[in-house]
């Protein structure tokens, strides 16, 4: 689809015009990731649960265009906002973001609160000051950044053509774009996260340093639930797919029930006013 000047690769499951369903947008991680990580994990089952599931490759990733510049967080948010317009989605959506995708989800919720019903952040950090520092260390630090070093080490320990492909794709993004330089310069959220007003469900691996955020998120956000999966690392979507799916499904179906109740209540109140 042509979105915000890009050719964006989109996959949609469970969409039926005659029966509007809650829209769930799945946002993947950075560099070695694409919408395929959801296509082979959460997406098909969520569609079977009666949800309208949208997946897309972020700019520079997968089959989406790879422009040389335009890789600040606000660019990713503009892409998502334009994608919803292109898909003619006119009601609030649920955003599920893995790793960097979770940061995009948080930023979208802050920039366009009217478009976001809830955020599910899987091993993700809101794009505030500490996030920017992490991005800088990971992408432009000594030796190419910690992220590049960790990916290289993982591939050495897990050889094979299947594992090499995402790393080659990540290398093309880093070589052909300004992502590493621009992303740490993104506009950031205030530390109190007051711009995020929708319900948030954050899932962490217990062995990941990001799990230390639980107290901060619960204290900063008005409506936040956190879950930590013991003995799991950053890649909980891969390491604990079934557990992650069950948590995401239950949250989304719970939100679906609450939305239906609110709609019925609004309709009932309207009918009562009409009767009077």
Residue for token digits 């997968």?
A: 62
Indicate the pLDDT class of residue 20, thresholds 50, 70 and 90. Answer: confident
CATH tag, 2-126+191-267: 3.40.50.1820
Element (H, E) at 96: strand 93-98
Instruction: List pLDDT tens digits, range 60-114.
Output: 999 999 999 999 999 999 999 999 999 999 999 999 999 999 999 999 999 999 9
> Got the DSSP string for 139-170?
HHSGGG-HHHHHHHHHHHHS-SHHHHHHHHHH
Indicate the pLDDT class of residue 166, thresholds 50, 70 and 90. Answer: confident
pLDDT at 257: 79
Task: With CA atoms as reference, report the closest residue to 83 among 2, 166, 138.
Answer: 2
* pLDDT surpassing 90 at residue 154: no
Instruction: List pLDDT tens digits, range 190-220.
Output: 999 999 999 999 999 999 999 999 999 999 9
Instruction: List pLDDT tens digits, range 55-71.
Output: 999 999 999 999 999 99
Contacts of 238 (CB under 8 A, 6+ apart): 37, 41
Indicate the pLDDT class of residue 256, thresholds 50, 70 and 90. Answer: confident
- Centre a 10 Å sphere on the Cβ of residue 267 and count the other Cβ atoms it contains: 10
Task: With CA atoms as reference, report the closest residue to 102 among 122, 116, 132.
Answer: 122
Rounded to the nearest integer, the mean pLDDT of the chain is 89
Task: With CA atoms as reference, report the closest residue to 71 among 181, 190, 189.
Answer: 181
d(CA 108, CA 114): 10
Higher pLDDT: 157 or 165? It is 165
């Amino acid at each position: 689809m042509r979105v915000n000047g890009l050719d964006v690769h989109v996959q949609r499951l469970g969409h039926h015009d005659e029966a509007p369903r809650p829209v769930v947008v799945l946002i993947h991680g950075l560099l070695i990731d694409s919408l395929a990580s959801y296509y082979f994990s959460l997406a098909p089952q969520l569609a079977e649960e009666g949800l309208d599931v949208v997946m897309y490759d972020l700019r520079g990733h997968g089959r989406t265009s790879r422009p040389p510049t335009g890789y600040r967080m606000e660019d990713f948010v503009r892409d998502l906002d334009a994608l919803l317009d292109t898909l003619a989605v006119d009601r609030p959506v649920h955003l599920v973001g893995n790793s960097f995708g979770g940061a995009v989800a948080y930023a979208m919720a802050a920039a366009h609160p009217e478009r976001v019903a809830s955020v599910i952040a899987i091993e993700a950090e809101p794009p505030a000051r500490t996030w920017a520092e992490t991005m800088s260390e990971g992408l432009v630090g000594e030796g190419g950044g910690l992220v590049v070093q960790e990916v290289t080490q993982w591939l050495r320990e897990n050889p094979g053509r299947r594992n090499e492909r995402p790393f080659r794709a990540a290398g093309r993004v880093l070589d052909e774009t300004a992502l590493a330089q621009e992303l740490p310069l993104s506009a950031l959220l205030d530390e109190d996260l007051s711009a995020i007003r929708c319900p948030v469900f954050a899932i962490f691996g217990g062995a990941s340093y990001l799990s230390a955020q639980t107290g901060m998120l619960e204290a900063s956000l008005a409506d936040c639930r956190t879950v930590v999966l013991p003995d799991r690392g950053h890649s909980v979507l891969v390491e604990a797919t079934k557990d992650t799916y069950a948590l995401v499904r239950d949250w989304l179906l719970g939100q679906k029930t609450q939305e239906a109740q609110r709609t019925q209540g609004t309709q009932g109140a309207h009918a009562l006013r009409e009767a009077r």
